[in-house]
Homo-oligomer: A and B are copies of this chain.
Amino acid sequence: MVRSAAVLIREHGLAPTGMREIAAAADAPRGSLQHYFPDGKDQVVSEALDWVAGQVTRPLLPDGTDRPQPARKVVADMFARFRRILELTDFAAGCAIVATVADASANDRLRAKSAEAFGAWRAALTDVLRRGGAGKARAERLAVTAIAALEGALVLARADRDLAAFDAVAKEITALMPR
């Protein structure tokens, strides 16, 4: 159900995604959605943002070897994963965190949860850059720049229904990362 919520939000936006749509997409009775999420839509969306944060940070965690992963490759892979989602969904899917921020100006709980999801992502990518030898301030700046540029590139790709802008951003931002 949480995954269905994330997919609906990244494709249609936060506002148009209601409990009815989430239940239908999860193929679950409306009553069971209400049973698991007594606080309603805000609760499902909060957990969906946690799920998204897990999806984006997991590939950035240490791989268990002693060798640090080169930041440039990690960021190229990050762009490649979202590129595949654009292709697989025919440009329907953006990022659920961006969609939440766009519609949730009056909802401080979801706004804060979006910040938390971005924060986890930024921390994981900052760690990659730090393990690769970048200083703390520079690692933080590069991490947030890569994530911001990726988010913007997703929006441009969905507007254009074309990958040219996305690929151009991926190329410039990847080149900006240390090897």
Chain A interfacial positions (CB closer than 8 Å to B) = 11-16, 92, 94, 97-99, 101-106, 111, 114-115, 118-119, 122, 140-142, 144-145, 147-153, 155-156, 158-161, 165, 168-169, 171-173, 176
Contact = CB atoms under 8 A, between A and B. Distances in A.
A115 B156 CA distance: 7
A140 B168 CA distance: 8
Contacts of A13: 13-15, 102-105
Given A152-B149, A160-B118, A102 B92 contact: no
A159 B103 contact: no
10 contacts: A94-B102, A99-B103, A101-B158, A102-B102, A114-B159, A118-B159, A144-B165, A148-B155, A148-B165, A151-B156
A119 to B, nearest CB: 8
Contacts of A103: 12-13, 15-16, 99, 102-103
A152 B147 contact: yes
A97 B168 contact: no
Contacts of A102: 13-14, 94, 98-99, 102-103, 155
Nearest to A173: B145
Chain B CB count within 10 A is highest, among A106, A144, A161, for A144
Given A11-B105, A102-B103, A106-B12, A148 B142 contact: no
A169 to B, nearest CB: 5
Contacts of A101: 94, 155, 158-159
A18 B111 CA distance: 22
Given A102-B102, A118-B160, A144-B168, 20 more contacts: A13-B13, A13-B102, A14-B102, A98-B98, A99-B102, A101-B159, A115-B161, A122-B165, A140-B168, A141-B169, A142-B172, A145-B149, A145-B169, A148-B150, A149-B149, A149-B169, A149-B173, A150-B152, A151-B151, A151-B156
